[in-house]
Amino acid sequence: MDASEKIPREREVGPCPCGSDKRYDQCCMLLHYGRSQPETAEDLMRSRYSAYYFRLVDYLVQSTHPDTREPNLKAEYESNIDQLFWRYLNIVGSSKGTPTDKVGKVEFIAGYVGSTKPEELHERARFKRFKGTWKYLDNKG
């Protein structure tokens, strides 16, 4: 994480954007700073939502599976990440993705405000381990 992505201390001790009821520095921040690894696909899903929220482009890139990580992915995130303001995350359900699985799916609804009005993203995301660590594969679950 470079200096431009540094998160203010008051946000670190505030509630995590992923809706876990934990403080950010005891939840997704541990994954964002590489201090711990996601145990489940849902953990990674939540940390990616929080990364969108805090606009942590590098984390979004490195948590994408190499199989689907397009060469221009970072530029793509950088060009549009400032246009959306994320409001909430609801996990609808998940299958597999446990500490002993190699693949998993998480269905979620994420609310955001785009250019004008509030909208929702409803996605069935697929996750797959890479070298033992959960990565986001695609939204074709």
Q: Quote the CA–CA distance of 113 and 84 in Å, as a whole number.
A: 6
**Contact 42/91 with Cβ under 8 angstroms?**
yes
Q: At which residue do the structure tokens 């950010």 appear?
A: 24
Among 25, 27, 59, 125, binds Zn ion (CB under 5 A): 27
* Binding-site member from 1, 5, 7, 20 for Zn ion (CB under 5 A): 20
User: What span, in angstroms and rounded, lies between the C-alpha atoms of 108 and 57?
Assistant: 20
Cβ 79 to Zn ion shortest distance, Å:
25
Residue 56 near Zn ion by CB under 5 A: no
The least CB distance from residue 113 to Zn ion, in Å, is 20
d(CA 94, CA 92): 7
The answer to whether the beta carbons of residues 79 and 86 sit under 8 Å apart is no
Binders of Zn ion: how many residues, by CB under 5 A? 6
Selected binder of Zn ion within 18, 44, 125, 137 (CB under 5 A)? 18
Instruction: List residues near Zn ion by CB under 5 A.
Output: 16, 18, 20, 27-28, 46
